[in-house]
C-alpha cells in the first residue's frame, strides 16, 4: 500500500487565527462546476451549490470568515480567515474554535451531499481526499494570492488542473507546492 504524503505543515496549529489559502479539487479532476467562457466562469447547477456551501461556512463555524474565492471547472480556490478573537452573542458564552481541516471537511461534506442528492445514476460527485493549503504570512503575499484567485479563470488554458493544458501531466503535488511557493 502506498504511503500518503504529508501536505500539512508539521507541528503547526491550523486552528490559529490567520489567513489560509486553500485549493480543493474534484476527484479525477472531473469538471463538474461549469465552463470557462470569454475568460469568465459560467457555473453549472453544481457550481452554484458549491458557491452557496462556501459562503455558508461562517454560519457553521463562528471563528471563520471568507476572503477571495473562485470556482473553476474542477477545483476551487479560496481564502479562509480564522479569527479566534471574535465575540459571539453577548460574549459570555465561548464558542468552539474550529481548525482549517474541519472547515474544509465541512465544506466538502455539505457540498457533496447537496450535489449527490441531485445526481441520478452512478456518476457520483466526489472531492479529492485532501486539499492544498498555504498559510498567508504577509500583506504582500495576501495581495498576490487575491490577484491569483481573481485572475485564475483568465489563465485556465495554462492551469495544471485543466486536462487540456500542457501542464496537466505534471505531478500535481509538485505543481501546487511550486505554485504556493510563488505566493
Average pLDDT of every residue of the chain:
84
Of 16, 135, 20, the C-alpha closest to 85 is 16
Domain that residue 79 falls in: 18-173
Quote the distance between the C-alpha of residue 70 and its chain's center. 9
Tell me which of 117 and 169 has the higher pLDDT.
117
121 exposure class (CB count in 10 Å sphere: 0-12, 13-18, 19+): exposed
Of 67, 84, 58, 80, the C-alpha closest to 143 is 67
The whole-angstrom separation of Cα 66 and Cα 181 is: 22
Q: Is residue 3 included in any domain, yes or no?
A: no
Tell me which of 104 and 183 has the higher pLDDT.
104
Q: Considering its fold, how many domains does the chain have in total?
A: 1
Q: Is residue 5 included in any domain, yes or no?
A: no
Q: Is residue 53 included in any domain, yes or no?
A: yes
Q: Is residue 103 included in any domain, yes or no?
A: yes
Q: What is the CATH number of the domain that holds 149?
A: 3.30.70.1290
pLDDT digits (tens, 9 = 90+) for 114-156: 998 876 555 688 999 989 999 999 999 999 999 999 999 988 8
Of 93, 65, 79, 54, the C-alpha closest to 144 is 79
Q: Is residue 154 included in any domain, yes or no?
A: yes
Average pLDDT over residues 24-53: 92
Amino acid at each position: 500500500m502506498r504511503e500518503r504524503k504529508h501536505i500539512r505543515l508539521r507541528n503547526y496549529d491550523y486552528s490559529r487565527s490567520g489567513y489560509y489559502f486553500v485549493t480543493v479539487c474534484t476527484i479525477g479532476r472531473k469538471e463538474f462546476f461549469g465552463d470557462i467562457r470569454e475568460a469568465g466562469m459560467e457555473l453549472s447547477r453544481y457550481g452554484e451549490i458549491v458557491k452557496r456551501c462556501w459562503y455558508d461556512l461562517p454560519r457553521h463555524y463562528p471563528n471563520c470568515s471568507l476572503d477571495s474565492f473562485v470556482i473553476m471547472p474542477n477545483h476551487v480556490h479560496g481564502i479562509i480567515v480564522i479569527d479566534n478573537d471574535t465575540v459571539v452573542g453577548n460574549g459570555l458564552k465561548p464558542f468552539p474554535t474550529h481548525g482549517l481541516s474541519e472547515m474544509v471537511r465541512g465544506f466538502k461534506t455539505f457540498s457533496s451531499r447537496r450535489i449527490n442528492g441531485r445526481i441520478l445514476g452512478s456518476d457520483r460527485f466526489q472531492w479529492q481526499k485532501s486539499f492544498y493549503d498555504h498559510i498567508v504570512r504577509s500583506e504582500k503575499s495576501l495581495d498576490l494570492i487575491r490577484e491569483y484567485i481573481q485572475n485564475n479563470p483568465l489563465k485556465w488554458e495554462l492551469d495544471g488542473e485543466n486536462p487540456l493544458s500542457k501542464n496537466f501531466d505534471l505531478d500535481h503535488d509538485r505543481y501546487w507546492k511550486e505554485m504556493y511557493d510563488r505566493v
